[in-house]
Structure formats: structure tokens, C-alpha cells
């Protein structure tokens, strides 16, 4: 066996935690406190997760852990931190969302609430045919989803690996924003090249924790901000973008009518978004 492969295998072996020894995870990563271990234990008992290997990424609100299911398929486990201070800045979003009207009372509940919120949002996006990692399950502060990447190496972020065809990637992203809004009634609200994975020529939108229902009082501003971020990134790469005000208005206008889906596109009065904008 070549050295590199052996090192990699040893690395995995060292990080291989099955149900009998998940207690040891505490030693590997401090994200695994008692509360989180119990959640992991539950997901293992339900046979959703077979084993976990270790962290692949660390975000502001969660750590993402690589694992496997009983069929040997890779999983990404997003483990929300249970520290109260991590959430203070995010609170206004939850508070403005009618689905979360109760006041969370402790950091464990708050982490679980965020996890449930992200899972539901992801599921809505997934069902609206937006390209997202398939949401699989959640329990307390752990969200389980499809792993995007290979052999424990996560797919690069769009910011680190720009697409080869920037124009069609731009169109792809705005059509996904439209599907989320019109079919899923959802606005991502934290969309940028930092929350898109570029894998095998496909762009997966991740990090749905702060997404809001289209009935949110700030929905237009949030949608505008998402589009502005996307426009900024893609125009820097040389794509020709649709003016953010015009695009936001078009999307809001289109979200008022009834739609059909044809060929994975939203059609309103016979027009998809591109023909509505006279782009095709």
C-alpha cells in the first residue's frame, strides 16, 4: 500500500467511533459534550448513523463532522454549538419568523431550535428542487445530511473554486433562488460564494439556518441582499449579471402569480425567469 493511502487509512481508523465507544469522542473534539453525545447515540440507535470520523469544517455556529451510514455512504453531521453566546447575533432572525415565536430558554434548546430550523428549511428547499445536500435526519443539535465531496474531503466552496462557465453558473444560482422563493416560499438570507459548494460541475447551496419564510417582514431586503452578494461575486468573475433591484422586483412579482414546473423550471404565464427578463 502506498504510504499516503496507509496514512489516510490510519487516520480514519484512529477517528473511527462506533456506538460502543462514542464516549471517547469527547477526547477528540470538545464539540461532543454530554448533550451532543446523547444526540449522536440516538441517531446511531435509529440506525441513521453507523460511525463518525471527525471534524471536516468549523463554522461560526456549528462544526461539520464526517460520518458513514449503514450502507457505507458518507454523511455530513452538522453539530450546532451549545454555547449561549454563539447565538446572540442570530437571534433577531429567529424572533422575526412566525414559526419560532417562543423564547428559547437555554443554550441546548437554542442549539436544537437552530438545528430543527435548518433541517426544515433544507427540506423545503430540497422539495422545491433547489440543489442542496439531501437532508436526512436531525436530533437535538445534530443535523444529518448527504456528504458533498469524496473520501472525507468536503467539496470546495465556490469562493475557492470558481466555476468553469461563470455565465451558466450565475443563471443556475438565480434559478435556484427563484425555485426556493416560488416553490419553497423561502429566502436563504445568507447566500454568497461562502455558502455554495462546487462539486462535479454542480453548485450546492448550503447553510440554510438563517433562511426565512417569504412572509417575513424583511423578506424583500433579505432577497435583495442575497442577489447583491451573488451579483458581486459573479460580476467580478466576468459574468453579465441582472441588476439586483430589477431581479429582486422580478422575483417578487413572479412570486405573486401561480406557477407550473416544466423541465425543472418555474413557468408563470408561459414564461420562465430568463424569458421574463428578456434574457433568452
Ligand X SMILES: Nc1ncnc2c1ncn2[C@@H]1O[C@H](COP(=O)(O)OP(=O)(O)OP(=O)(O)O)[C@@H](O)[C@H]1O
Residues involved in catalysis: 190, 207
The phi and psi torsions of 75 (rounded to 5 degrees) equal -125, 155
- CB neighbours of residue 245 within 10 Å: 11
Figure out which of the listed residues 61, 178, 226, 244 binds ligand X, where binding follows CB under 6 A: 61
Q: Candidates 48, 52, 76, 180: give the one binding ligand X (CB under 6 A).
A: 76
Q: If contact means CB under 5 to 8 A according to the sort of partner, which of Mg ion, ligand X, none does residue 149 touch?
A: ligand X
Are the beta carbons of 136 and 144 closer than 8 angstroms? yes
Q: What is the DSSP string of 134-184?
A: PEEEEETTEEEEE--EETTEEPPBTTTS--SSHHHHHHHHHHHHHHHHHTT
- CB-count exposure of residue 215 (10 Å: 0-12, 13-18, 19+): exposed
- Tell me if 229 contacts Mg ion by CB under 5 A: no
Q: 72: which 3 cell numbers?
A: 457505507
Report the alpha-carbon distance of residue 147 to residue 149 in Å, rounded: 6
Q: Confirm if 269 and 254 have CB atoms less than 8 A apart.
A: no
CB of 228 to ligand X, least distance (A): 18
When CB distances are held under 5 to 8 angstroms depending on the partner's kind, the choice from ligand X, Mg ion, none that residue 14 binds is none
Binding range to ligand X, per CB under 6 A, among 31-39, 96-104, 107-115, 202-210: 202-210
Q: Count of residues binding ligand X (CB under 6 A)?
A: 22
From the list 48, 62, 79, 131, which residue makes contact with ligand X (rule: CB under 6 A)?
A: 62
Minimum distance, C-beta of residue 272 to ligand X, in the bound complex (Å): 28
**In the structure, how many helices (H) and strands (E) does the chain have?**
9, 13
Q: Which is nearer to ligand X, 60 or 236 (CB)?
A: 60
Q: Is 214 in the site for Mg ion (CB under 5 A)?
A: no
Q: Where are the beta strands (DSSP E) in the chain?
A: 51-58, 62-68, 74-80, 135-139, 142-146, 149-150, 153-154, 186-187, 196-199, 202-205, 212-213, 260-262, 265-267
207 binds Mg ion (CB under 5 A): yes
- Contacting ligand X (CB under 6 A), which of 110, 128, 187, 206? 206
Other beta carbons less than 10 A from residue 151's beta carbon: 9
Nearer to Mg ion, 207 or 244 (CB): 207
207-266 binders of ligand X (CB under 6 A): 207, 209
Size of the site for Mg ion (CB under 5 A): 3
226 binds, among ligand X, Mg ion, none (CB under 5 to 8 A by kind): none
**Measured from the CB of residue 62, what is the shortest distance to ligand X in angstroms?**
4
* Contacts with Mg ion, residue ranges (CB under 5 A): 59, 195, 207
* Contacts with ligand X, residue ranges (CB under 6 A): 57, 59-62, 64, 76, 78, 133, 145-149, 154-155, 157, 194-195, 206-207, 209
Amino acid at each position: 500500500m502506498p504510504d499516503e493511502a496507509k496514512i489516510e487509512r490510519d487516520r480514519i481508523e484512529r477517528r473511527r467511533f462506533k456506538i460502543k465507544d462514542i464516549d471517547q469522542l469527547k477526547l477528540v473534539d470538545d464539540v461532543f459534550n454530554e448533550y451532543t453525545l446523547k444526540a449522536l447515540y440516538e441517531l446511531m440507535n435509529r440506525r441513521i448513523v453507523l460511525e463518525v470520523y471527525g471534524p471536516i469544517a468549523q463554522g461560526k455556529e456549528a462544526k461539520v463532522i464526517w460520518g458513514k451510514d449503514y450502507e457505507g455512504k458518507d454523511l455530513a453531521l452538522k453539530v450546532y454549538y451549545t454555547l449561549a453566546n454563539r447565538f446572540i447575533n442570530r437571534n433577531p432572525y429567529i424572533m422575526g419568523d412566525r414559526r419560532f415565536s417562543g423564547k428559547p430558554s437555554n443554550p441546548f434548546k437554542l442549539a436544537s431550535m437552530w438545528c430543527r430550523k435548518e433541517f426544515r428549511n433544507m427540506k423545503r428547499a430540497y422539495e422545491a428542487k433547489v440543489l442542496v445536500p439531501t437532508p436526512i435526519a436531525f436530533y437535538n443539535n445534530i443535523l444529518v445530511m448527504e456528504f458533498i465531496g469524496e473520501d472525507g474531503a468536503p467539496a470546495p466552496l465556490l469562493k475557492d473554486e470558481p466555476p468553469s462557465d461563470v455565465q451558466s453558473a450565475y443563471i443556475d444560482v438565480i434559478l435556484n433562488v427563484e425555485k426556493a422563493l416560488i416553490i419553497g416560499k423561502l429566502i436563504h438570507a445568507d447566500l454568497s460564494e461562502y455558502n455554495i459548494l462546487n462539486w462535479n460541475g454542480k453548485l450546492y447551496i448550503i447553510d440554510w439556518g438563517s433562511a426565512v419564510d417569504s412572509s417575513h417582514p424583511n423578506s424583500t431586503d433579505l432577497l435583495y441582499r442575497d442577489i447583491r452578494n451573488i451579483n458581486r461575486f459573479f460580476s467580478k468573475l466576468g459574468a453579465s449579471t441582472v441588476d439586483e433591484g430589477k431581479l429582486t422586483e422580478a422575483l417578487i412579482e413572479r412570486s405573486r402569480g401561480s406557477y407550473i414546473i416544466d423541465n425543472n423550471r418555474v413557468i408563470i404565464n408561459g414564461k420562465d425567469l430568463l424569458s421574463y427578463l428578456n434574457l433568452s
